[in-house]
Amino acid sequence: MGNTINLATKYAAAAQERFYKDSFTQSSFSKDLDMEFTGVRTVKVYEVDTAPLNDYTRSGANRYGTPQELTDNLQEYIMTQDKAFTYTIDKGNAREQFNVKQAGASLKRQLREVVTPYIDRYRMNVWAKKAGIITALTAAPDKSTIAGLIMDGTVALDEALAPTEGRTLYITAGYYKMLKLCDEFLTVEKLGREALARGIVGEFDGMAVKKVPSSYMPKDVYFMIVTKGSAISPMKLNDYKIHSDPPGISGDLVEGRVIFDAFVKGSKAAGIYVAAANGTVSAAPTISISGHQATISGTGTVLYTIDGSDPRYSASAQTYSDAVTVESGDVVRACAIDGEKFCSPVAEKVDEE
C-alpha cells in the first residue's frame, strides 16, 4: 500500500484586488437641487419664460406691445432607482482564510466595483436619452474624421449658447486611440498632447477628455459632450451597515442600500451633445394648424405641448392621439420617439390664425 502524504495548503494573507476606477461621471453633475430631494421622492421645478422683444409704437394704448402674462414651464423629477445588496462573512471561514474577507474592506470593494460602475452606466444612459442635441452621424468616426466630428459637437453647443467652461468629452478607448492618431491631435500644444498620451483626463478643443470603457457608453453612441450643470444626479439615501453576530449568523452581515437617480434639466439640456449611429435618431414630427386645430404626424410615440414648453422635459407634455384645439398665438411643440431610437428634435409651429 502506497504512502499518502497530505500537504498543507497556504493562502496568501491578503486578498488579490481587481482593477477599478472611481466614478467617471460625478464631476459633470450639478448639486444645486440635491437638497430638494431630502425626505421626498418627487421634486417639481419651475422654469420661467421670457417675453418677446417688440417694436415700440409712438402712439396708441399699447406702445410697448400687447402685454401677456409671463408663463413658466414645469419639469417633474421622480426618483426611480432604489438598489440594495447584502452578503455574509462567516466567522469560521474568515479565520481559516486569515481574515482576508474583512467586512470593512469587502464593503469598500463592493462600492467601487459594483455600486459606482452601475451608477455611472445609469447616468450615461440618461444623458444619451435626454440630451438636448442628438446627432445621427452618417458613418462611424475614423482617424480622418473623428476630430472634425468632435468639433462639430462643440460648434453645436456654441450655437446653443452652452458655456465653454465645464465641458467634458466622454469617449471610448477605441475612438480615443483614433483621436490620438489624427492630424489635429498631433498639432495640439505639447502639454495637452502629453496629458492625453498618458491616458489621463486631458484636453481637446477646449474640453476635458475622459476615456471610458466601451461597456459604459450607451448603445449606438460614439461619444458625448456634457456641460456641467446640464444635469443633476441626487443621492437620496446612501446607507451601508455591518452587523456583527446578528441572530442566526456567526460572523458579519453586510447590507447596503442606495436611492439615486439622474435627470437632465430642460432649461439646460442643450449643454449635452450626443453623437449617435446612423438611423438611430427618430425623425421629427410635422405639425399643421388649420381652423385652430393642430394635427401632428410622426412615427412612434409623439409627445406635444401647446404652452411652448419643450415636450421632452415638460410636465405638461401629452401623448398625441388626435387633433388638438389651440388658440391664436399658442405655440405647439412636438417630438417623437420611434421604438428604441433616440428622441427626435423638437418641431414647432405657432397658431397665427
The pLDDT score that the predictor gives to residue 42 is 86
Give the number of C-alpha atoms closer than 13 A to the C-alpha of residue 315, restricted to the C-beta side: 13
Do 216 and 326 have their domain in common?
no
| β pairing state of 167-172 and 72-78 | unpaired
Q: Is residue 30 part of a domain?
A: no
Q: Using the structure block, give the residue that is written with the C-alpha cell 444645486.
A: 32
Q: Is residue 102 part of a domain?
A: yes
Q: Is residue 308 part of a domain?
A: yes
Write the CATH number for 163.
3.30.2320.10
| β pairing state of 167-172 and 207-212 | parallel
Do 319 and 265 have their domain in common?
no
Residue 156 DSSP label: H
The pLDDT score that the predictor gives to residue 22 is 75
Do 119 and 190 have their domain in common?
yes
Do 105 and 230 have their domain in common?
yes
The pLDDT score that the predictor gives to residue 19 is 47
The pLDDT score that the predictor gives to residue 16 is 46
In sequence order, the β-bridge partners of residue 331 are 307, 350
CA distance 22 to 48: 37
Cα-Cα end-to-end distance for the chain: 106
Write the CATH number for 337.
2.60.40
Cβ atoms of 314 and 289 closer than 8 Å: no
Helices 190-197 and 173-181 sit at what angle, rounded to 10 degrees?
150
Choosing from 243, 276, 309, the residue where a domain stops is 276
Alpha carbon separation from 73 to 4, 30, 261, 265, 284 (Å, rounded): 81, 20, 21, 12, 22
CA distance 300 to 281: 12
Q: Is residue 71 part of a domain?
A: no
Cell numbers found for residue 321:
392621439
Q: Is residue 22 part of a domain?
A: no
Do 218 and 304 have their domain in common?
no
Residue in 296, 322, 321, 318 with CA at minimum distance from that of residue 309:
318
Choosing from 276, 304, 337, the residue where a domain stops is 276
Q: Is residue 107 part of a domain?
A: yes
Do 221 and 313 have their domain in common?
no
Choosing from 276, 310, 328, the residue where a domain stops is 276
Q: Is residue 28 part of a domain?
A: no
Residues of the chain falling short of pLDDT 70 = 1-21, 96-101, 184-202
Three-class secondary structure assignment of 296-327: EECCCEEEEECECCCCCCCCCCEECCCCEECC
Do 197 and 267 have their domain in common?
yes
Do 272 and 310 have their domain in common?
no
CA distance 220 to 231: 21
Do 229 and 101 have their domain in common?
yes
How many structural domains are present in the chain? Answer: 2
- Domain boundaries, position 316: 286-350
Do 125 and 272 have their domain in common?
yes
The pLDDT score that the predictor gives to residue 199 is 42
Do 225 and 90 have their domain in common?
yes
Residue in 348, 342, 353 with CA at minimum distance from that of residue 137:
342
CA 134 to centroid of chain Cα atoms:
12
Sheet of 324-325, strands arranged across: 286-290, 293-297, 324-325
Summarised one tens digit per residue, pLDDT across range 150-203 is 999 999 999 999 999 999 999 999 999 898 887 766 555 554 555 554 444 468
CA distance 134 to 201: 24
Residue in 160, 128, 151 with CA at minimum distance from that of residue 340:
128
Q: Is residue 269 part of a domain?
A: yes
Do 179 and 310 have their domain in common?
no
**φ, ψ of residue 305 in degrees (nearest 5):** -135, 155
The pLDDT score that the predictor gives to residue 188 is 54
